[in-house]
A and B are shown apart, each in its own frame.
Chain A
Amino acid sequence: MDEPLNLVLFSGTDDKLQAAAVLAAGAAALGRPVNVFLQYWALDAFRTARIGRDHGLAPEAGPEGRAHVVALASAGQQPWAEILRQAKEIGSVDIQACSLSMDLLAIEQSDLDPLVDGVEGVTAFYLSAGAGQIVFV
């Protein structure tokens, strides 16, 4: 289980970020390294000023899907940022911002939540990913 799990997060809605955080935490619990590369709207959601906000859901959720998501949150499901924080405590989870997306959205590293470890380009991400699969969310 030493191959890293490599997650490219593109979507910035809470459902997709939640699903990605669950994948990351599960891998971390198994002792598998996790590399997360934040692009576009996922990166935007990691701004310190926005990370705790409601980021909406994917369009296919609809009103019924939203009701299910709200019910699970009310029952005590941890938000995705908290799951990622705990994943970092138990394992090796490296979260990097895509430098192109930083330019695109005019984000400085100081604007980002401390969950984000740094900024890198896609080449550096591929190097970290090694032979492990890359999952795009």
Chain B
Amino acid sequence: MRDALVDARGLSCPMPIVKTAQAVKTLASGQRIEVWATDPGSVKDFAAWSKATGNPIVEQSVDGGVFRFVLARK
């Protein structure tokens, strides 16, 4: 279940994070955002961003070169 989707496939660093940071601002606490990204730096970048901002990653997977993250707004 998600409240927002960021399709960042094809975007290079740091745009997947920038788009996600923009979208998270529109969510209420506890709402979830799903992100699709192809930037190979995404796994480490989303882990770092989650840690720094306190918005937890609740699901994470990779399928055919597409990284998928579900984050909750803290």
Contacts and interface: CB of A to CB of B under 8 A. Distances in A.
Interface stretch (B9-17, B29-37, B65-73): B9-17
Nearest to B13: A22
A72 B18 CA distance: 18
A30 B49 contact: yes
How many chain B residues sit at the interface, stated as a range, is 10 to 19
A75 B17 CA distance: 18
A22 B49 contact: no
Given A89-B22, A90-B22, A25 B52 contact: no
A76 interface: yes
A25 B10 contact: no
Interface residues of A, number: 19
B53 A22 contact: no
Q: Is the interface of A mostly helix, strand, loop or mixed?
A: helix
A114 to B, nearest CB: 19
A31 B17 CA distance: 12
Contacts of B13: 22, 26
28 contacts: A1-B52, A22-B13, A22-B14, A25-B14, A25-B15, A26-B14, A28-B21, A29-B17, A29-B18, A29-B49, A30-B48, A31-B52, A31-B53, A75-B10, A75-B12, A76-B10, A76-B12, A77-B11, A77-B12, A78-B11, A83-B15, A83-B18, A86-B15, A86-B19, A86-B22, A90-B22, A90-B25, A91-B21
Interface of B: 10-15, 17-22, 25, 48-49, 52-53
